[in-house]
Amino acid sequence: MNRETEARTRPIGMFDSGVGGLSVLGEAVRQLPHEDFIYYGDNGHAPYGTKPPETVRKLAFDVIERLLVQNVKAVVIACNTATAEAAKELREHYSIPIIGMEPALKPAAEMEGDGLRLVLATPGTLSSEKYARLYARFGQNAVSLPCPGLMDFVEAGDRGSPALRDYLKCLLSPYLDRQVTAVVLGCTHYPFIRSLIASYFPLSTRIVDGNAGTVRQLGRVLAQRGLLNPTGEGSVALQTSGDSHTLNLMRRMFEEAKAIR
């Protein structure tokens, strides 16, 4: 195997604070079926979204070091909070491509309609400088809704318990009698409860996330650097800083993620 072939066939690393990034992984295996992926869920330190920025940065560096030992050719930060707090520093420190997430506020802003754009995200994402810059450009009709604890429901495998429904009703009730053009899922956990969130709004309200755009960017960067793998079946390895129960949950949720559209 020559050097170019070896570089193309190396795996892609992907990580999140827990299971949420599996929604990105599901999109990645659809768009890039020939690639091998190593997904690391840092469940032992979840959630990231309510931690201080310096803690999130340290955790992100620790995870990337774990992935680099496994010879990854690129890393996807499948976490909006970790992207907001650590992507700049990680790119300055490492030479491999590092692809991040951001709430899909730009696509939502470009949709037709004068209604609100509700951005659901963790407090860490919404308080970051990166989000502030995004909001300054595309937030004219946007309302930012911090959702502390919402990812915990998803992390526990909850898709519609009375407690989760009460949480969403309290969060969304001020906007249910107003025109809402789009709801932005600004955390990679939230696509797992997309249908439940959508049920609070008319069918005309668009529910959007950044997963597909992030994976398209990953494909573009790999192609530009000659790292895109054009052949092979592709594979997925799931890893976690949690326990065996967590790993079993990740396996079930990955199968679910592959069906998310």
* Catalytic center residues: 79, 187
The first and second tokens of residue 207, run together, are 């529910």
137: Cβ contacts below 8 Å, ≥ 6 apart? 106
DSSP calls for 140-179: TTEEEEE-TTHHHHHHTT-SS-HHHHHHHHHHHGGGTTS-
> Contact at 8 Å (CB) between 154 and 190?
yes
DSSP lists the bridge partners of residue 39 as: 14, 238
> Contact at 8 Å (CB) between 187 and 46?
no
Distance CA 126, CA 194 (A): 20
Would you call 63 helix, strand, or coil by DSSP? helix
- How would you list the strands of the sheet with 74-77, edge to edge? 98-99, 74-77, 12-16, 36-41, 235-240
Residue 145: phi and psi, rounded to 5, are -115, 100
